[in-house]
Amino acid sequence: MGCASSKPIEVAVDVYRPPPSSFAVFDINAIQEPWLMADDAHEEHKEKPTHVPVAILDKLNKLESDGPRSWEEVSKALEDLKPKLTNPAPPPRNPAPTPPLQPPAQNSPTPAVEKPRKSPSFHTLAELEAKISPKPSEVTRTEFKKTERVKPDSKVVSVPPPESGGYKPLRENIFIVRDKLEREKEGKAPVKWDPLSDYPEKCPPGGSDSVVLYTTSLGGVRRTYEDSNRVRAILETHRVVFDERDVSLHGGFRSELRELLGEGVVVPRLFVKGRYVGGAEEVVGLNETGRLGRLMSWARVERREGVGKACEGCGGARFVPCLDCGGSCKVVVGDARERCPECNENGLVLCPICH
């Protein structure tokens, strides 16, 4: 209720409106009518190729156009539509033999048909091994041809080929045999290599067919004493029979060594059948390389078991006191004392058991 003079009051009522993001935004123009879509699908179906024959499609269309049919009619129509398979005739079991190919006549222009080649392949491991490994009868052996060498004013020397198979020693080498035959034709004796020819020829007295070693038993100079023992032990290891000459016990041995090698030479010194081999360093080096044993074998020096054993008479010194003067170097002749002629300057003589 109000008076006439009162003014109407308009009340603003807010109507709920959903936010724009809640609306499904779509384009109405993108919507196609269903009849248009059916026409498009029909056109696509027409354009698609099919593998069904045209006659079968016509019959199916006829059935569809006439209306519904019973199941018997449909099954009978389908039986008629099935393709009939024609079974090919089986090949004969015993085919007629193919006539062999005959070469064309001489006047015929048709070329002859080549026979099929045998395949080189293999099917089993045994066939592969038989194919790779040659047969015993097919094994070829290398044979040496005869070689000829022509010299001016000389006859041709031919060497027969050695028998094939196995290894042959070096002396049967064709070149060595050829040189040997040539030397025999020329009347020259075969030359043999001598390892002792590499060493100077210096022969001590009585040492042309033996091994002579100059040593010292005096321990005043330690180096020469140890070197002498080392070389002596090496020769005893090889069982070589040698003549040891101690320069400290006999002045004559010192004079012999001085005449052979000169002044200032220290012992030990080794001589093999008139050849000077060297001192302690040379002998030790030859022994370490194995050449010393081969050198002794080539020189054919005397070897004996038990070399190096001490003598029962001298104990290995090879000298004993003189029995005439007792080591004093003086003998009584009448009323005078004279020099003993049997012993050396030290009153020693060689052991009668060792020598």
- Which tens digit of pLDDT belongs to each residue from 150-161? 455 555 555 555
> Is pLDDT above 80 for 55?
no
Within the chain, strands assigned E span: 148-149, 157-158, 211-215, 242-246, 269-272, 275-278, 319-321, 330-333, 336-339, 348-350
Contact status, residue 193 vs residue 224, Cβ threshold 8 Å:
no
Taking the alpha carbons at both ends of the chain, their separation in whole angstroms is 177
Q: Distance (Å, rounded) from C-alpha 11 to C-alpha 124? A: 109
Distance CA 329, CA 176 (A): 63
CA atoms 183, 185, 187, 190: torsion sign: positive
Is the pLDDT reported for residue 142 higher than 50?
no
Q: Are 286 and 277 in contact (CB under 8 A)?
A: yes
Query: Domain check: are 204 and 305 in the same one?
Result: yes
Paired sense of beta strands 148-149 and 242-246, if any: unpaired
CA distance to 130, 213, 255, 312, 351, per residue, from 346 (Å): 88, 21, 15, 21, 14
| 328 band by pLDDT with thresholds 50, 70 and 90 | confident
Q: Measured between alpha carbons, how far is 230 from 216 in angstroms, rounded to an integer?
A: 12
- Does one domain contain both 160 and 237? no
Is 77 inside a domain boundary? Answer: no
Whole-number Å distance between alpha carbons of 145 and 197: 37
Q: What is the pLDDT of residue 242?
A: 93
Rounded to an integer, what is the distance from CA 100 to the centroid of its chain?
A: 57
For residue range 175-227, list pLDDT tens digits in order: 888 888 888 888 776 666 788 888 999 999 999 999 999 999 998 889 999 99
Q: What pLDDT, on the 0 to 100 scale, is given for residue 138?
A: 47
Find, among 232, 316, 216, the residue nearest to 266 by Cα.
216
Q: Look at residue 292 and tell me if it is in a domain.
A: yes
What gap in Å lies between CA 241 and CA 232, rounded to an integer?
Answer: 11
pLDDT surpassing 50 at residue 76: yes
Any idea which of 99-113, 185-199, 262-276 has the lowest mean pLDDT? 99-113
CB 295 within 8 A of CB 235: no
- For all residues of the chain together, what is the average pLDDT? 75
> Comparing C-alpha atoms, which of 192, 354, 201 is closest to residue 272?
201
Query: Do residue 176 and residue 277 come from a single domain?
Result: no
* Cis-peptide, bond into residue 268, ω within 30° of zero: yes
pLDDT at 239: 93
* Share above pLDDT 70 across residues of the chain, in percent, rounded to a whole number: 58
Res 64 pLDDT > 80: no
pLDDT at 103 over 80: no
Higher pLDDT, 18 or 207: 207
Q: Say whether both 261 and 304 belong to one domain.
A: yes
Domain total in the chain: 3
200 shares a domain with 174: no
Residue 228 has pLDDT above 60, yes or no: yes
Clarify whether residues 267 and 344 are in a common domain.
Answer: no
What is the structure's pLDDT at 144?
Answer: 46
Two tokens at 172?
A: 């049967």
Query: Are 206 and 300 within one domain?
Result: yes
Lowest mean pLDDT among 7-16, 72-81, 105-114, 170-179: 105-114
Q: What gap in Å lies between CA 244 and CA 228, rounded to an integer?
A: 10
Tell me: do 293 and 204 sit in the same domain. Answer: yes
Mark whether 203 and 300 lie in a shared domain. Answer: yes
Same domain, 226 and 300: yes
Do residues 241 and 159 share a domain?
no
Q: Greater confidence, 26 or 191?
A: 191
- Out of 186, 212, 235, a domain closes at 186
Domain containing 240 equals: 196-309
